Structure 1
Amino acid sequence: MASSAKRRAIETGVNVQDSKESSDEGLEESGDEGSENSEEEINEEVIVDFEAHTISDNDFHGIKTLLQQLFLKSHVNTSDLTDIIIQQNHIGSVIRQAEVPEDSDDEGDPDEVFGFISMVNLTEREGVECLEKLKDMILEQCVKSSSPDVQEKFEELLLDSAHSIGLLLSERFVNVPPQIALPMHKQLLKEMAEAQRTNKPCGKCQFFLMISKTCKPAKKSISGHGQPKDELLFVNDEEEFFYEQATLKFSYSVQDEADFCATGKWSHDDVPMKPFRTVMVIPMDRMGTIMDKMTEYLSV
């Protein structure tokens, strides 16, 4: 049963685009003018209330679906990873739509998950198969996509238990605005501080490991030397602040695993986009700076 122990309402506007007019009757009344309007893009702002809840067993399908959009066809077992996230439900939240009035026409699933945030301590869970597969995948992609120096540093960080590193997972559907990220990250940090106070594994991380959905323009730069750094586009806008503070990072293509950019941003100014994943390591002591920038950017 979903708990409301961490229930926070977040009101935000969502842009909805539709190329069709609302009714045939309206088109008939307006004649040629209506026909012209029907070809125009409609921009309508819909106000939706979201609430954060403690993660529960009911959230398995929703969390797994969001993990699958991150890991695509990789060998990471998203079912097992979802189980771990649910088992440690003292940390993390899921986002659902706020309670809909009985007279509303909205018949959506009240348990539908629109987003979630969690953190899994990779060091404390050394030997867990799905997490070992995840580390193997990261190191394999690192070999293909980065320099030997970066490879060496990632191997040291992921394979040496002297470093306590937590996998930070923050996923949502593309039509959910970034404003929800601010209270979710703030709550997660509070829970980590409480976990540290009570000597739980989730509170002992020195570093965050993050895998972000990113895109780059498909066309190479004029110089022919690859893409400039500023052409890396983040699907979750706020994750650019993590990128700026990361001490270790690389990106790898997932074009062969995705049919499209899978981001809701299939083009940027009509430029075809290629899907990537960007792996980042962020020292825990830089989270204050990240939260300050996120607060400035996302506060409404």
Structure 2
Amino acid sequence: MAKRKTQKDPEDLPDAPDGKSKRKNDDSDSDEDMDTLDVDFEWFDPNPAVDFHGLKTLLRQLLDVDNQLFNLSELADLILSQPLLGSTVKCDGTESDPFSFLTVLNLETHKDKQVIADLTAYLTRHSTTPSLAPLQTLLTAPSTSQIGLILTERFINMPHEIVAPSYKMLQEEIQWALDEKEPYAFTHYLVLSKAYMEVESNLPAAEQPPAKKKKAAKGG
């Protein structure tokens, strides 16, 4: 499948301000210089020759504390095995490490690969709540469903404006793949994302200082 993706940003992202901006300090009459930096983002195909280690780093960040449950090398290789689908975002040419990536993997097509089996089992274990019951059924029950697992991550200092163009490219590439009879006729999409849960602090509240310990009475 010939690549149609351009390497330049397909949308006009906001440019960083040129030069230096000055802000007056409220406590003095001096001016404080704030350095700004212009950065050009470019979209590239996943490149097996240069992106392996960068992808592993982003996958480790995406899976967070659970990353040790998976063979990240196998997962990175699987992503790189379909270089005409998905994107990496870089700031210093194709030979540099990716700062962001987006791809989709067919869970049915790759079900015999160990890392996909591990991911499917992991997702099944985490879909036991009533609201996620349909997902557990899709992952476990024999069906003709084609689930596309979307994997995406970016470094924290990457602007969120890069996300929309990446998804737009992926949508176009999936359609091009379908036109050429490739196995990307997904019936469902599953986006893997980190979730955070608020837990009650064990520290005493500020307005309620810890109670003082009472001295034990001495026995007579």
Q: TM-score range by the shorter chain?
A: 0.7 to 0.9
**What is the total number of aligned residue pairs between the two structures?**
185
Read off the aligned partner of 1:156 and give its amino acid letter.
T
Residue 270 (structure 1) aligns with = none
Tell me the alpha carbon deviations over residues 3-25 of structure 1, each in whole angstroms, 9 at most, x when there is no partner: 9953023644579xxxxxxxxxx
The alignment status of 1:122 with 2:103, answered yes or no, reads no
1:63 aligns with 2:55: yes
Q: Determine which of 95, 116, 122 is the counterpart of 1:131.
A: 116
**In 1, distance between residues paired with 2:5 and 2:173?**
13
**Structure 2 counterparts to residues 103-122 of structure 1, below 5 A:** 110-122=95-107
Aligned equivalents of 1:184, 1:125: Cα separation in 2: 23
Question: Partner of 2:74 in structure 1?
Answer: 80
Correspondence for 1:191: 173
Q: 1:124 to 1:217 in 2, by over 3 A?
A: same
Q: Which residue of 2 aligns with 1:7?
A: 7
Q: For the residues of structure 2 that align with 1:37 and 1:177, how far apart are their CA atoms?
A: 28
Contact in 2 for aligned 1:92/1:118 (Cα 8 Å): yes
Which of the numbers 139, 143, 148 marks the counterpart of 1:166? 148
Deviation per residue, 1:77-99 (Å, 9 max, x gap): 22111101100111011100055
Are positions 1:175 and 2:157 aligned together?
yes
CA RMSD of aligned residues (A): 3.1
What displacement does 1:72 show?
A: 2.2
Give the letter for the 2:165 counterpart: P
Aligned residue for 2:37, secondary structure, equals strand
Distance 1:4 1:190, change over 3 A: closer
Residues 77 and 130 in structure 1, CA contact (< 8 A), matched pair in contact too: yes
* Aligned pairs for 1:1-300 within 5 A: 6-9=6-9, 11-12=13-14, 33=28, 45-57=36-48, 58-74=50-66, 75-99=69-93, 110-143=95-128, 146-147=129-130, 150-151=132-133, 153-159=134-140, 160-201=142-183, 203-218=184-199
Contact (CA 8 Å) 2:127, 2:136: kept in 1 or not? no
Q: Report percent identity of matched pairs.
A: 27
* Gap runs ≥5 in structure 2: 18-24, 202-220
Question: C-alpha separation between the residues in 1 aligned to 2:108 and 2:161?
Answer: 31
Residues 1:80 and 1:86: Cα distance change in structure 2 (over 3 Å): same
The structure with the greater share of residues assigned to helix is 1
Contact 2:107–2:116, Cα closer than 8 Å, also in 1: yes
Higher relative contact order by CA 8 Å / sep ≥ 6: 1 or 2? 2
Structure number, greater radius of gyration: 2
Q: Cα deviations across residues 35-69 of structure 1 (Å, max 9, x unaligned)?
A: x999xxx8765321100011111101111111111
In the alignment, residue 91 of structure 2 is paired with which amino acid?
Q
Deviation at 1:123, TM superposition (A): 1.3
For 1:73 and 1:219, how far apart are their aligned partners in 2? 20
TM-score normalised to structure 2 length: 0.73
Deviation at residue 139 of structure 1 after TM alignment: 1.3
Amino acid at match of 2:85: I
Change in 2 beyond 3 A, CA 1:124/1:161 = farther
The alpha-carbon distance between structure 1 residues 47 and 132, as it changes in their structure 2 partners (threshold 3 A), is: same
Q: Is the CA contact (8 Å cut-off) linking 1:12 and 1:49 kept in structure 2? A: no
Q: Where in structure 1 are there 5+ consecutive unaligned residues?
A: 16-29, 100-108, 221-300
* CA positional deviation for 1:76: 2.1
